[in-house]
Amino acid sequence: MSYVKIKRPKFSLLDKVYVVELVKGLAITMRHLVLSLLGKSRGKEDFSTKGVGVCMQFPDERWDSRLPEYYRGAPTLVRGEDGRERCVSCQLCEFICPARAITITPGEVDPTSNCQKQEKAPAKFEIDMLRCIYCGMCQEACPEQAIFLSKEYLITLTDRKQAIRDKETLYRLGGTRKGLVNKWNQYK
Amino acid sequence: MDAIINWYNDLMSNEIWFYLIHTLLKLVLMFAVILAFVVLSVWIERRVAGWIQDRPGPNRAGLPLFLLQRWGSKEKQPLKNWLQFFGIPETCWIARLCTWLRLDREIPCWGLIQPCLDGGKLFLKQETTPSYVRKFYFILAPMLVLGPPMVAAAVIPFASEVNTCYGHISMCVANLDIGPLWIFAISGLSVYGLTLAGWSSNSKFPFLGGLRATAQLISYEVSMGLSIIPLLMMFGTLNLQQIVQFQADNGWTLLPLWGEGLSWQRWAMMLPLGISFIIFVTCVFAEANRTPFDMAECETDLVAGYHAEYSSMKFASFFMGEYAAMVIGSAVVVTLFLGGWSIGFGADAALSAYSDWLAVLCQLCMFIVKLLAFIFFFVWVRWTLPRFRWDQVMKLGWLYFLEITVANIFLAAAVLYFIK
Amino acid sequence: MSTPPAILPKDAAAAEGKVNVQINGKWYRFPKGTRIADACNSVGAHVPCFCYHPKLSVAGSCRMCLVEQGMPPRQAPGTTPQYGDDGYLPISWMPRAVIACANTVAENMGIRTTSKLTEEARRGVLEFLLSNHPLDCPICDQAGECKLQEYTTDYGSGTHRFTEEKTKKGKNLSIGPRVNLDQERCVLCRRCVRFMKEIAGQDVLGVVGRGTHNAIACYPGTQLDSNYSMNVVDICPVGAMTSKDFRFKMRVWFLKSTPTIDVNCGTGTNINIWTREQQVYRITPRQNDAVNSCWMPDDHRLNYKFINAPTRITTPLVKTDAGAGQRPSTWDATFNMVVEQLHRMAPSETAMICSARMTNEELYMVRALSKQLGVTKLDIVPRKGENDGMLVSEDRNPNTNGAKMILGKTGAGLANIRRGVRNNTIRFMIVLGEDLTAEAGFTAEDLAGLEYLLVVDHSENETTKAADVVLPGVTFAEKYGTMINVTGRIQRLNKAIEPIGDSMSDWEICRNLSERLGCDCVRVIACPTPMSVLDEMAQEFEPLEGITWGSIGNEGKVIMETGVTIPLIEREKAKK
């Protein structure tokens, strides 16, 4: 048998007339309404919030302190402890990005940089935040631990151009990460 | 001054001018009330939906005080500056009241201006007319949706009658003797808007939406008309003003607690009238395309239904048309079953004996309160019931309601025959 | 007891000059002398190779191609061979693997490419190769087309057991004007050394150092500056040799490759154009044993920058008033204006110069246009250079044979036109795809003296600057078409990117002009694509008889006898 027969409930005549069931339903929604207005909605004590219902009054009350470790916010670029730009512009994040938010123009490493062995560094690194879907695949694909998803979730723009974050902005937002990537120093 | 009063007297003594002027005033009042209610009902809808779903609904939109700051200096103008300006000490109760009302940040409106902002947003949205539509009908359709409910409202009485020194005014824009028929006829026209929208969009889902709207409206129009016949048999008139007057004197249709209403004959009529009420209200839901009968714009099957191709203010017209239909539907139900403007328990007669104008004012308030209550009921049902399936809608309309209403007519006739 | 068939397979194969070989349990027949690696690859049993290249001598140094091999045991004297049911002798397998590139197949040989022994051998070889490999794939241009990456994914182990310090060698060394060397990435297959010695004939590369310090380097005082130096980048299986031009430009997995041909000389080298989103990033040779083997010259390879250069003309340019400069216009307006101007021209005072760099389809449409205008002074610009004894032909026009076939011109009439312009008998000129101030020998004054000059070209040059109307054509990377090379082989050009800006294929420009000039020949104006132009030409020109776009194929087809040969191909044939 390729199908499963679902057992349908038997309805009495009263159920079929629907009026009683309708009134029951209306009673349920009315109970919710009254409890909301009284500020006694179920589950409210879990949120230490004011006001109607179990909603958090967003700009006034925020969830920030309770964001989990694995929260996926805006992607950023990070520097190592030694101040080295970790990104070597291998373009794997650009390749994996399902929304095509990342655009990298590869280039030679800055001649004044402290790691000439790395040879390659992005000349331009842009993430279009209007395209980004915060999936975290860039972070997963990165072989250099250079791109991380921050906890920044509030990205407000007044202009489409603002949505494109350049390399400087991304490094500023990402800051420095602990843990040495020994790949490009003399020990290798 | 005397000249003006004389001119005014002359003008009002002329029957035609008197008629024109008071009709125009009523018309303006009527439209203002309905449009205000359309806006208000959107707010009610969203607030009630929020409460039912354990959230606040739109509660933020107020008039922010930063608007005032912009006009003046760049510095912030907190509340105390204003208080200082008027010389009110900060510890005074006025100051505390203002703070409690959040006047230090904004002028709170409990989200009431949200619909206005939404309207403004829709005005500013990009207007797109797809290249493949039939342009003339595409533009005509939203107008046809918004127009009929407004016209249908003309026959609904919102207060009793007044005798002035210039003549008699009935508080109803058009005191027709065919009130309910007028409403059915005109509000039935609005389906042309939906059908045209669906057809002229030249697109699959809107077309199906338009078809559904037509079929549903035709199906339920029949039961709707038939369902109120027991009512009309009891009232013996089709004039809505007289119907409401009858209810004011002899008890509301569903609440016969005074006047003749206390007789056992009236209570015997409650059975057919109750059936009428349930069926009529259901049909009003169906006519207004409200959940659980919003088959024409059922997202799950039809994307957005007949208005899938519309944007900006054209879409807003459909939106408003629907709410206008809801307001008018509520008004009709209130008028026919819940005593219209009548305050009840003989208060109408007592008030008009005291002052006609006071009575009219109270009655208008009463009407609005009843209207709001019924709009709330509309919303309440919407957030309680899931949408029917299309075949269920058709089956309900043709297989149950039609038969029940016809049987109900005979039942009412029999009851009337026996109690007379 | 088994009963062998009446005719043994070995005899049947020997009659064809072939031998029977069992590969992964199945029997195949190969010509005598086939290398095991080639035999296995030809039947889908893939054998990984670093050092083996079919066009170079065998080195057998990488040991990557180890396979398990077996032969029938040697018969004891006086015994008769015991053939099985299938007519083959039983195979006894050798305890150690052999390299597939240096050994040839033999009768009744057995080969296993997927056995445990082979897998282990490959894993071991890869582990040794990777013990000193820097693992800098994120910055390596070869990543994505790197054999070491591929084989490690297929056969390597996921972990690294080598905890000692890796050997340090030179990185990012410039060993020539166009090639960079990274000695750490090198797997010492010596393909580059063999290529420079055997094909390029410039023996500059060698292996220096001993043991783990082995490295590729140029001999002292030399550098890798041959015109064929970039081929070592192509044949390098890892990222040791990288192109300076393509260095850090784009990762190869973003690039789309389009098979087409080179238009810098009459050889018509087969190439792949690598593009991403309207941008050409590099050109690599495509194997065609009748034209260019696996190689191409560097100057042709690097001559693609003009495709995406800012000097490209992207909209029609018109001079509306005398003395005024050129300004951009739309196609429709420009066509209308050009047609009006062409109607006013006297055909006897008009000359047309087109280019043997155009495809056959374009030349056909040029001919149609000249017929429509009644112009008889029509010719191409010949280009001669030196034959480098390898791939570069002395004819630097890629389609001289096509021009000869379609227009019947070889550039002999060019001098006449030049004289006509100078003595003012030619006052109107239409130039397609040529800069007259270059090889054609015109001067800027000649062009300024013309009453009307219409130019179709893809990039700005002296001629377009002097023109009254410039119609933007396309480069070879943006069009479909066919060309006939010096050996008489018709080959296809494929479109790698869409025309840049508003530019339009030259054949389309000519067709539209002819149509607007009142041409009523359906065979001209009804052609929707270059393929249908080719069909039309096939009916008119005898060499093209039976030729269609599909029948040409990616390797082309010889359609005429010219007696010209390509030296490198001749040498390769002689070697066999």
State whether B51 and A37 contact (CB < 8 Å).
Answer: yes
Segments of C418-528 assigned E as strands:
428-432, 452-457, 469-472, 481-484, 489-493
**What mean pLDDT, rounded, does chain C reach?**
91
State whether B59 and A28 contact (CB < 8 Å).
Answer: no
Complex ipTM above 0.90? Answer: no
Is residue B13 a part of any domain in this protein?
no
Contact A152, A67 (CB under 8 A): no
Phi then psi for C300, rounded to 5 degrees? -70, -35
Q: Of A92, A143, A188, which is closest to C134 when you measure between CB atoms?
A: A188
Phi then psi for C281, rounded to 5 degrees? -105, -35
Residues of chain A positioned with their CB less than 8 A from the CB of B381:
26
**Residue C429 pLDDT:** 92
Spans in chain C with pLDDT lower than 50: 1
Q: What is the mean pLDDT of residues B31-51?
A: 86
State whether A36 and B54 contact (CB < 8 Å).
Answer: yes
State whether B381 and A26 contact (CB < 8 Å).
Answer: yes
Per residue in A91-125, pLDDT tens?
A: 999 999 999 999 999 998 887 777 778 889 999 99
Q: What is the domain extent for residue B74?
A: 68-107
Spell out the residues 6+ positions from residue B413 whose beta carbon is closer than 8 angstroms to its own: B233
**Residue A109 pLDDT:** 87
Structural domains of chain C, ranges and CATH numbers in brackets: 9-124 (3.10.20.740), 134-252 (3.30.70.20), 317-475+501-528 (3.40.50.740)
Spell out the residues 6+ positions from residue B29 whose beta carbon is closer than 8 angstroms to its own: B158
Please report, rounded to a whole number, the percentage of residues in chain A having pLDDT higher than 70. 94
State whether C253 and A120 contact (CB < 8 Å).
Answer: no
Q: Of C138, C143, C251, which is closest to A144 when you measure between CB atoms?
A: C138
State whether B54 and A22 contact (CB < 8 Å).
Answer: no
Is residue B380 a part of any domain in this protein?
yes
State whether B50 and A51 contact (CB < 8 Å).
Answer: no
Q: Of A91, A118, A144, which is closest to C251 when you measure between CB atoms?
A: A91
Is residue B28 a part of any domain in this protein?
yes
State whether A29 and B380 contact (CB < 8 Å).
Answer: yes
Per residue in B346-375, pLDDT tens?
A: 777 777 777 777 888 888 888 889 888 998
State whether C248 and A120 contact (CB < 8 Å).
Answer: yes
Query: CA angle at residue B164 from B160 to B169, to 5 degrees?
Result: 40
Is residue B373 a part of any domain in this protein?
yes
Residues of chain A positioned with their CB less than 8 A from the CB of B384:
22, 25-26, 28-29
Looking at the structure, tell me whether residues B78 and B214 fall in a common domain: no
Decide if A56 touches B, using CB distance below 8 A. no
Instruction: Count CA within 13 A, CB hemisphere, residue C83.
Output: 14
Residues of chain A positioned with their CB less than 8 A from the CB of C134:
188
**Residue B73 pLDDT:** 47
Spell out the residues 6+ positions from residue C297 whose beta carbon is closer than 8 angstroms to its own: C227, C228, C269, C388, C390, C391, C392
Whole-number Å distance between alpha carbons of B98 and C240: 77
Q: Of C166, C172, C249, which is closest to A119 when you measure between CB atoms?
A: C172
Q: Work out the number of other CB atoms within 10 angstroms of the CB of residue B212.
A: 26
Looking up tokens 């002689």 gives C574
Decide if A40 touches B, using CB distance below 8 A. no
Looking at the structure, tell me whether residues B225 and B98 fall in a common domain: no
Decide if A41 touches C, using CB distance below 8 A. no
Closest by alpha carbon to B122, among B32, B195, B42, B51?
A: B42
Phi then psi for A90, rounded to 5 degrees? -80, -15
State whether A36 and B50 contact (CB < 8 Å).
Answer: yes
Q: Distance of alpha carbon B337 from its chain centroid, rounded?
A: 15
State whether A51 and B56 contact (CB < 8 Å).
Answer: yes
**Residue C274 pLDDT:** 96
Q: What residue spans define the domains of chain A?
A: 13-46, 66-184
Please report, rounded to a whole number, the percentage of residues in chain B having pLDDT higher than 90. 2
Decide if B346 touches A, using CB distance below 8 A. no
Decide if B406 touches A, using CB distance below 8 A. no
Q: Of B51, B380, B381, which is closest to A52 when you measure between CB atoms?
A: B51
The model carries a pTM of 0.76
Residue B55: closest CA among chain A residues belongs to which residue?
Answer: A53
Does residue A188 carry a pLDDT above 60?
no
Residue A90: closest CA among chain C residues belongs to which residue?
Answer: C138
Reported as a pLDDT band with limits 50, 70 and 90, residue B416 is: confident
Between residues 277 and 316 of chain B, which touch chain A (CB distance below 8 Å)? 278
Q: Work out the number of other CB atoms within 10 angstroms of the CB of residue A184.
A: 24
Q: Of A95, A107, A187, which is closest to C248 when you measure between CB atoms?
A: A107
Residue A27: closest CA among chain B residues belongs to which residue?
Answer: B384
Is residue B126 a part of any domain in this protein?
yes
Reported as a pLDDT band with limits 50, 70 and 90, residue B80 is: low
DSSP letter for C545, please: T
**Residue C239 pLDDT:** 92
Looking at the structure, tell me whether residues B90 and B211 fall in a common domain: no
State whether A143 and C137 contact (CB < 8 Å).
Answer: yes
Closest by alpha carbon to A75, among A142, A161, A143, A158?
A: A142
Weakest-pLDDT range from B85-94, B183-192, C162-171: B85-94
Q: Of A95, A117, A119, which is closest to C254 when you measure between CB atoms?
A: A95
Q: For strand C317-318 and strand C327-328, is the pairing parallel, antiparallel, or unpaired?
A: antiparallel
Residues of chain C positioned with their CB less than 8 A from the CB of A118:
139
Looking at the structure, tell me whether residues B101 and B229 fall in a common domain: no
Per residue in C446-499, pLDDT tens?
A: 888 888 999 999 999 989 988 999 999 999 999 999 999 999 999 999 999 999
Spell out the residues 6+ positions from residue C272 whose beta carbon is closer than 8 angstroms to its own: C257, C258, C259, C260, C283, C284, C285, C286
State whether A26 and B278 contact (CB < 8 Å).
Answer: no
Looking at the structure, tell me whether residues B185 and B93 fall in a common domain: no
A130/chain B closest Cα distance in angstroms? 20
State whether A119 and C254 contact (CB < 8 Å).
Answer: no
Q: Work out the number of other CB atoms within 10 angstroms of the CB of residue C38.
A: 16
Contact C379, C412 (CB under 8 A): yes
Question: A with C: how many residue pairs have Cβ under 8 Å apart?
Answer: 41
Decide if A110 touches C, using CB distance below 8 A. no
Looking at the structure, tell me whether residues B279 and B332 fall in a common domain: yes
A82/chain B closest Cα distance in angstroms? 44
CATH top-level class of A66-184 = alpha beta
Neighbours of chain C (3+ CB pairs under 8 A): A
Weakest-pLDDT range from A54-68, A162-176, C318-332, C542-556: A54-68
Does residue B26 carry a pLDDT above 70?
yes
Rounded to 5, what percent of chain C is helix, strand, coil?
Answer: 30, 20, 50
Decide if B56 touches A, using CB distance below 8 A. yes
Residue B396: closest CA among chain A residues belongs to which residue?
Answer: A17
State whether A120 and C138 contact (CB < 8 Å).
Answer: yes
Q: Examine chains B and C and say if they touch (3+ CB pairs below 8 A).
A: no
Query: How many separate domains does chain B show?
Result: 2
Weakest-pLDDT range from A161-175, B4-18, B213-227, C324-338: B4-18
Is residue B351 a part of any domain in this protein?
yes
Whole-number Å distance between alpha carbons of C267 and C485: 5
SS3 C19: strand
State whether B59 and A51 contact (CB < 8 Å).
Answer: yes
**Residue B102 pLDDT:** 60
Neighbours of chain A (3+ CB pairs under 8 A): B, C
